[in-house]
Structures are given as C-alpha cells and as structure tokens.
Amino acid sequence: MLGATSPLAYGVTVAIAAIICAAACVAARLRPGAWTKWVARLVGVVLLADLVSYVAVQTADGTWYAKTSLPLPLCDVGVLVAAVACFWNLPLFVELTYFWGIAGTLQAVAFPDLSTSFPHLVWFQYVAGHLGIVFAALFLVVGMGHRPRKGAIVRVFAITLGYTAFVGLVDWLTGANYMFLRSAPSEWTLLKVLGPWPWYIASAAGVAIVLITLLDAPFWHSRRSRSVHPAATIESRP
C-alpha cells in the first residue's frame, strides 16, 4: 500500500470493510428486501457526510483554495455520484458508480495517497470516501442486482471523457492541476507507469476503455438472454 501512513490501521480498516461488503452482498443476494435500500441509503449518508466535512473543515481553517480544494478529481465527484446512486438507484448513476468505483477508486484504495496518520480527520475522510464508493459500487450491482444497461461502456466513457475535458478547462482558467492534466504529479502514482506527461493522459484513456469493457463483460450474457426472452427477466431486482 504505497503512500499510506499508519499502514497497519489502514490495512485493518480495508480488510474489515471488505468483509462487511462481501457479507452485505451475499445477504442481499440470498435475502433481498427493503432492508437493502436502507443499507444503500446509509452508505449514501456516509458519503455525503464525508464530502460536506471535507469542504467545511477546509473552509473553517482557511485552507480552502480554488486551485487545490475544488472536489474535481474523479474520486471526489465520485463520492457525490455514488451518494445519488445509493439514494435513488438511478441507472446512469449506478453505472458511473460501478465503473468509476471499481476501475478507478479501487486503485486509490490499493495505492493510497495519504499524507496524514490515523486518527487524523483527513485520514478518516480519505478512507470513508474511497471505501464508501467501492462499497456502493459492489453492493448496488452485485448485492442489489442493478445491472449496467446495454451501451453502458460507450455512455460511461463518453461522460468520463467529457468530464475530463471540463476539468481541463478549469485547470486552464485557474492554473490548477486537477487530475494531473497540466503537469505530472510530483509524488508516485499509477500514472508514472503510463508514460510522461501529456502522453499518460492518452494511455489512461486506453486503460479506462479496457477496464470498463472487462467490468461490463460479466453482464453480456444476461443482457443477451433478456433480449431473446424479455418476459423472463427484468433489468434489475427490487
């Protein structure tokens, strides 16, 4: 877990979260019901609280700056997207949560960029936000059975590309470097293995296409079956 301070506390927290997530997904598959909606909403509340606390603390202590503090990185906006998905199960938001959460945020969980130690508030904010997105992605799709729809690959990639262009515009207007679009990160990140700036942007886009396709592959057969026997199955379980 490169870059993690308090590695023991971080590793234990991730392990506990993984066990709880797996148990929740299995329980939701075996005994679906109204309780699953309340679990999803609880995750949504945690994600919203994480986002609000992040902005509130920086505003209160005077460390909020437009060049560094806007919630523009994909993991940050992913917190809001996942919260919306948890509250209302909107298909597009579920798809974004699933693909962004597993293809992107899970990497941030495996290779955390943490400069603070347990039990600092920023440590909890990082852990709650990132683990919350991954939990939401797996619970909504694997547990509750909300499946990516036909065309999800194109939809999610187009939105990701458009959002990246928007962040690039913000970077250009403010002189910021959100998503490392204007210059390479000074610290080690997975972008380091994708080539120098700006080529790693194109490389990252290629990797994103591959990962999204792989994540969508498990649902190809079920979608094909539904198209052949539409009355036999439905898009998602209640």
d(CA 92, CA 95): 5
In a domain, 90, yes or no: yes
Q: What is the pTM of this model?
A: 0.91
Contacts of 77 (CB under 8 A, 6+ apart): 71, 163
Domain presence at residue 108: yes
Q: How far is CA 61 from CA 58, 114, 125, 193, 237, in A?
A: 5, 20, 16, 36, 45
pLDDT at 235: 45
Task: Between 156 and 122, name the one with better pLDDT.
Answer: 156
Question: Is residue 195 in a domain?
Answer: yes
On whether residue 48 sits in a domain, the answer given is yes
Examine residue 2 and state whether it is found in any structural domain, yes or no. no
- pLDDT tens per residue across span 139-181: 999 999 999 999 999 999 999 999 999 999 999 999 999 999 9
Q: What's the domain count of the chain? A: 1
Summarised one tens digit per residue, pLDDT across range 7-45 is 899 999 999 999 999 999 999 999 999 999 999 999 999
Residue 234 lies in a domain: no
Q: Is residue 236 part of a domain?
A: no
> Is 19 a member of any domain?
yes
User: What residue numbers bound the domain in which 176 lies?
Assistant: 7-228
